[in-house]
Structure 1
Amino acid sequence: MAAGRRAHAVVAALATASVLTACGGGGVEAGSGGKPKLYFLPGVKDEPFYVTMECGAKEEAAALGYEFVAKAPAKFDADLQSPLVEDARKDKAAAVVIAPTDERKLIAPLKDLDRNGTKVVEVDTAVIASGVSASRVASDNAQGGRKAAETLIQLVGGRGKVLVLDTTLDTSSTNAREKGFAEVASANSKINYLGKKYTDNDPAKAARIVTQALTETPDLAGIFTTNLNTTEGAAAALRAANKVGQVKLVGFDASPQQVEDLRAGVVQALIAQDPAGIGRQGVQQVVAAVEKKPTKGEIKVDVVPITRDTMDQNSKYFYRKSC
């Protein structure tokens, strides 16, 4: 009997080792209950876009048998996010799904993960280096910018001065949205594109920029804001200046506040993403990489323009504050 038990134990140990190797390799470890760990590292804590993405990622990770660990920086800041990447490395996570907060500063931390056997998938944003992740899953941001321009041009009657509020210089997703917008706006001879201004992803700064723009350009016709924080700040400034409806506002994303502003007519259109779908696909891709199955190098998810007339039929794209 003792020999039989020893043989059984050896077989069990070999089976466990095989599972751990298949689920990560390179020194990764299983979490509680023997499940491999999957870290989700969004761009910032408590933002509805990332909360909604986390909901989709968490649901998919559970379905695929992974222990889900979510950690988010208090601000959209590489210096705050990098230590969380290091936590995943030290914890020997099998997988990391991350929205990099800086396209340059996160390169080295992500390469460290890869060297230590942790598989990485980038969602929403990405670093400028190749080879640090198995897949990149994001909205088609350039397409979203083009749709925003087409929508705003229609709202302003095809002519006038328009402005873009972007977030930061090194945020790949919002930069692509501005480029897509500029491509369409600059090609229209009756649209005077005033260029972009950076808000540092701060609603208060966005509001100050809009307030100043209204003073400097009293005939401003429209504004495109590249994410939810800039939209919320711009909407607040238009309310304070009694310019609601006079200056047309098209915002990227569909946070609860943005949806409320759309319904109230403060915002004329939203370009909504599918963050829950991005989260689910990000987890699917990173698990495929861990389990040595084929992955897709890039997945682009369509965006959806929403106006007050079409908001009820598109409510599935509205972001959440909790799962």
Structure 2
Amino acid sequence: MKKLVVCLAVFTLAMSAMFAGAAFAAEKPYNIALIIKATDSDFWQYVIVGGTNYGLEFPEVAKVTNYGPPSEADIDKQVAIVEDVIASKPDAIVIASTSSDATVPALERAVDEGIVVITIDNKVNTDKVHSFLATNNTVGGALAADKMVEAMNAAGIPLKGKVAIVSAMAGIQVLDDRDAGFTEQMKKIAPEIEIIPPRYVDNDIIKALGVAEDLITANDDLIGIFADNNHTGDGVSRAIAEQKLEGKIMVTAFDSDPEEIKALESGAIKALILQDPYGMGYKGCDFAVQVLDGKEVPKYVDTGAVAVTKENMNDEEIKGLLDPMLKKKQ
């Protein structure tokens, strides 16, 4: 009887090892689903350019298909997209999940079904994913504060008065981290400045414009606004430009799109904190392929944050970050 038990145990272990090894026994080219947060934002289009370029460069290795809801506010729609993608049985999913929690059950099920899952931009609250590539948003927020104070000093604005935060959405971890990093750094380097709590705009440019106008009207001593993504940057910079307040209210913002780039050139925005959305899409797909090939990849990769001002925006090493469409292969 003991021999039988031992034999069964050995057989079970052998079968487990066999199935573990076969979990990613897919044929090339691997089918990779790249799921972004929203199709209405240039930032996420830059992610798509990165992922698409990877597939074009290595057609024998990967076929990349893109998915995403219209807006970052469409969290339920993104969850439904994830469910549909899992049902189509891709070899891998590379996803920027808007919510840290809403997609977790589906992503955990995907891993259990043998699908490689790589997350980018926003951390999801599970340890099951194979890798996570993202900006350290707390550091990026602090960098935005540094650049704002530099702009104030350059404009001869005393470090007294109020600074506001216009945030795309409430309860989104990456945005919370940016706002917290900005706030803590401002307290350190400009302790006499009062920080107005974040105003949320549902990731809507027109709402961001309206909130910025309200803040300007209600606060005569407003000397700065931090916009924590490209849509808020677009809205805030419009308010500054329309009222010709480039020399009075210093604006720093996250990410880049054509409107933010124009605002940087005009001085409505003093600095943009750039992530690497192209790299997230490209490297995310590459990491998926490496895992499918049986290779090890880091659990977390900091994709970096760079401050861009009018002075350095034309540097060669900056151009590709400022406008990743320049890298588009088709």
TM-score range, shorter chain: 0.7 to 0.9
- For 1:260-279, list aligned pairs within 5 A: 260-279=262-281
Q: What SS class does the counterpart of residue 267 from structure 1 fall into?
A: coil
- Kindly state the Cα deviation for residue 53 of structure 1 after the two structures are TM-superposed: 1.5
- Kindly state the Cα deviation for residue 196 of structure 1 after the two structures are TM-superposed: 1.3
- Matched with 2:230 is 228
- Kindly state the Cα deviation for residue 160 of structure 1 after the two structures are TM-superposed: 3.0
| Corresponding letter in the other structure for 1:108 | P
CA distance in 2, matches of 1:207, 1:284: 38
- Residues 103, 172 of structure 1: 8 Å contact kept: yes
- Matched with 1:318 is 322
One of 297, 300, 303 as aligned partner of 2:299 = 297
- Matched with 2:63 is 67
- Residues 103, 170 of structure 1: 8 Å contact kept: no
- Kindly state the Cα deviation for residue 59 of structure 1 after the two structures are TM-superposed: 2.0
- Matched with 1:15 is none
One of 129, 135, 143 as aligned partner of 2:131 = 135
Question: Where does structure 1 lack aligned partners over 5 or more consecutive residues?
Answer: 1-17
- Matched with 2:51 is 57
One of 95, 106, 110 as aligned partner of 1:109 = 106
- Kindly state the Cα deviation for residue 316 of structure 1 after the two structures are TM-superposed: 2.0
- Matched with 1:161 is 162
**1:98-132 superposed Cα distances (whole Å, 9 cap, x missing partner):** 000111211112112112211111111122x1223
- Kindly state the Cα deviation for residue 275 of structure 1 after the two structures are TM-superposed: 1.3
Q: Percent identity?
A: 25
| Corresponding letter in the other structure for 2:259 | Q
- Matched with 2:173 is 172
- Residues 153, 159 of structure 1: 8 Å contact kept: no
CA distance in 1, matches of 2:140, 2:263: 20
- Matched with 1:149 is 145
CA distance in 1, matches of 2:246, 2:219: 16
- Kindly state the Cα deviation for residue 168 of structure 1 after the two structures are TM-superposed: 1.6
- Residues 49, 320 of structure 1: 8 Å contact kept: no
- Matched with 1:84 is 81
- Kindly state the Cα deviation for residue 207 of structure 1 after the two structures are TM-superposed: 1.0
TM-score (norm 1): 0.86
- Residues 159, 191 of structure 1: 8 Å contact kept: yes
CA distance in 2, matches of 1:61, 1:134: 20
- Residues 107, 132 of structure 1: 8 Å contact kept: no
- Residues 264, 270 of structure 2: 8 Å contact kept: yes
Q: What SS class does the counterpart of residue 302 from structure 1 fall into?
A: coil
- Residues 162, 221 of structure 1: 8 Å contact kept: yes
**1:247-267 superposed Cα distances (whole Å, 9 cap, x missing partner):** 111111121111111111111
- How many pairs does the alignment contain? 297
CA distance in 2, matches of 1:109, 1:168: 23
* Counterparts in 2 of 1:321 and 1:200: CA distance versus 1, 3 Å: farther
Q: CA RMSD in A?
A: 2.0
CA distance in 2, matches of 1:159, 1:135: 43
- Kindly state the Cα deviation for residue 156 of structure 1 after the two structures are TM-superposed: 2.1
| Corresponding letter in the other structure for 1:239 | A
- For 1:185-264, list aligned pairs within 5 A: 185-187=186-188, 188-264=190-266
TM-score (norm 2): 0.84
